[in-house]
Structure 1
């Protein structure tokens, strides 16, 4: 009887009665690349400049390996207690609740959703900066590099917000594969443009910039205080550039059950993180070779390059399209949390549960729910307004990232793995996991200090609603 209720009827339902998942390791890889490679890839040259050739390269490789390890641990915890035949954990929070218990579940939720909301606000701001950069690029090309091309990014934040209101009406994460694949292609595009422009600059006749094994020189390029703070911030930037733990379980929940989700997800993790590391290394190291110790914070929006202006414009356009998709990858878990809570609290409410089917020409049947439309629209308006009020919010997002990096990327994955695999206390694996946790906790503290310093500096010069 139970079987006939969701009767594998045309293959629409999964073994547990949920809507059938259709994702593969390819769509999983696309989701990962979309979530991980943000426009921050273009600031890695600055980070390498702070650390130098040796430490910069080591930090890049180290955090790629840490991220790969912890993502493997999370993949095996998707089904519990058995990694292949156990019950599914569809979200990160549910996974923590089932494996570690209620108290840790609350802490996980606080860290995860604070970071997700912070990232969507940050993406709104970052997309508007790239839109502004296109306008400035055309202005510089027309009137010269010394021209006053200042422009406000508030109208562009509003444009980005409107696009997100429309895209947010896509019912759930399972229907976003196409958007993630488009966004992943965009990240390849603008990272490649950054790499190409760097190579062109390196190849220029007479090109000579100052680089160093240890980066910027104390007493020449900066003070010892600035060197310390910038080193902290650079380590944090690279560590958090890899962080995608807050959406990793939700990504795995889009994968079909055959082959086993953990196998497909591990393949996605290897592909996604390898691709990410390759582009990070090229952008960071080639960017440092191109600009040396004077590397700008972002060489597409910070005008490390002025010409060819059309290529700079294309690079920024690709960033914008990528951030449109990345916003949805980070916002969908927030949407899902509130909508699930509303359905449980008011199961009889038509506002919460009733779906209307609208036929859209060339698209097909579209499912619409009144609460979903209202709530998601209000959320996008909130993130847009927050980005407008705090235009230095990237520093705040850096702090949120610092605070959530340790629990989401290292602590919960290692603790859940130790519990699920029943690893004996004080065994070599147990000691290794604990040492990894301590190391990453120190990195989090260091990066948090750097982010707080950045916020204090921003507040000193903050003038609300001023043209950039």
Structure 2
């Protein structure tokens, strides 16, 4: 977005950020609250796995989920592709970029499939990475840069957000670690004898 002294970009960017966060809140919060209200603690990491009907809604939601993951994966994967590509092209003289992207995507998929407790890992690492950058670090940076008057309304609000933002950073890794331990125990305790035979089921 172009920014000039006459027309700075902070105004439109601020409006865009507000609209984006409102859309995210409208999409995620109802699913979180209604999912917990309907299923309680038995809800899976992916709520779509918990749903059983209606089928058309599950299929539609999964279709949109695939579109969402494809788009978001590109945002996070392209910097990795770029770093690997720069290294291989400059140092190794490897010019097969398409093969490289396919290999990285396949490797990422295999790693994700190999972890039966991927949701717990997301909570564990997300608490360290997502909570600080989203909740309290912006407030601390704003307090350092703007230096509001002590005990003013903005000072109190930012410190409140900082304190409340530390809680997810502490609680999320604890919950994620517990989920990983429980999933690991379930995976270890599951034996081939506990898997039903297809012939007996049919």
TM-score (norm 2): 0.70
Q: Distance in 1 between matches of 2:81 and 2:10?
A: 25
Which residue does the alignment assign to 2:53? 306
Which residue does the alignment assign to 2:20? 272
Residue 410 of structure 1 pairs with residue 135 of structure 2: yes
Q: Over aligned residues, Cα RMSD in angstroms?
A: 3.6
Deviating beyond 6 angstroms after TM superposition, the runs of 4 or more aligned structure 1 residues are none
Aligned to 1:461, which of 186, 189, 192? 186
Q: After TM superposition, give the deviation of residue 411 of structure 1 in Å.
A: 4.0
Q: After TM superposition, give the deviation of residue 400 of structure 1 in Å.
A: 0.6
Which residue does the alignment assign to 2:200? none
Give the number of the structure with larger relative contact order, counting CA–CA contacts within 8 Å between residues 6 or more apart.
1
Asked if the contact 1:352–1:371 (Cα under 8 Å) also holds between the matched residues in 2, the reply is: no
User: Where does 1:216-235 land on structure 2 (aligned, <5 Å)?
Assistant: none
User: What are the Cα deviations for residues 157-190 of structure 1, in whole angstroms up to 9, with x where unaligned?
Assistant: xxxxxxxxxxxxxxxxxxxxxxxxxxxxxxxxxx
User: What are the Cα deviations for residues 126-179 of structure 1, in whole angstroms up to 9, with x where unaligned?
Assistant: xxxxxxxxxxxxxxxxxxxxxxxxxxxxxxxxxxxxxxxxxxxxxxxxxxxxxx
Which residue does the alignment assign to 1:443? 168
Q: Classify 1:268/1:339 alpha carbon distance in 2 versus 1 (closer, same or farther; 3 Å).
A: farther
> Aligned residues, how many?
185
Asked if the contact 1:406–1:440 (Cα under 8 Å) also holds between the matched residues in 2, the reply is: yes
Asked if the contact 2:132–2:169 (Cα under 8 Å) also holds between the matched residues in 1, the reply is: no
Q: Distance in 1 between matches of 2:97 and 2:142?
A: 35
Q: Classify 1:299/1:455 alpha carbon distance in 2 versus 1 (closer, same or farther; 3 Å).
A: closer
Which residue does the alignment assign to 1:332? 78
Q: After TM superposition, give the deviation of residue 426 of structure 1 in Å.
A: 4.5
Q: After TM superposition, give the deviation of residue 450 of structure 1 in Å.
A: 1.0
User: What are the Cα deviations for residues 423-454 of structure 1, in whole angstroms up to 9, with x where unaligned?
Assistant: 16846345643443233112311121111110
Asked if the contact 1:300–1:316 (Cα under 8 Å) also holds between the matched residues in 2, the reply is: yes
Asked if the contact 2:132–2:165 (Cα under 8 Å) also holds between the matched residues in 1, the reply is: no
User: What are the Cα deviations for residues 38-65 of structure 1, in whole angstroms up to 9, with x where unaligned?
Assistant: xxxxxxxxxxxxxxxxxxxxxxxxxxxx
- Relative to its length, the structure with more helix (as a share) is 2
Gaps of 5+ in 2: 196-202
Asked if the contact 1:301–1:316 (Cα under 8 Å) also holds between the matched residues in 2, the reply is: no
Q: Classify 1:412/1:285 alpha carbon distance in 2 versus 1 (closer, same or farther; 3 Å).
A: closer
User: What are the Cα deviations for residues 208-251 of structure 1, in whole angstroms up to 9, with x where unaligned?
Assistant: xxxxxxxxxxxxxxxxxxxxxxxxxxxxxxxxxxxxxxxxxxxx
Q: After TM superposition, give the deviation of residue 399 of structure 1 in Å.
A: 0.5
Q: After TM superposition, give the deviation of residue 372 of structure 1 in Å.
A: 4.9
Residue 399 of structure 1 pairs with residue 124 of structure 2: yes
Aligned to 1:296, which of 35, 43, 48? 43
SS of match in other structure, 1:305: coil
Q: After TM superposition, give the deviation of residue 397 of structure 1 in Å.
A: 1.2
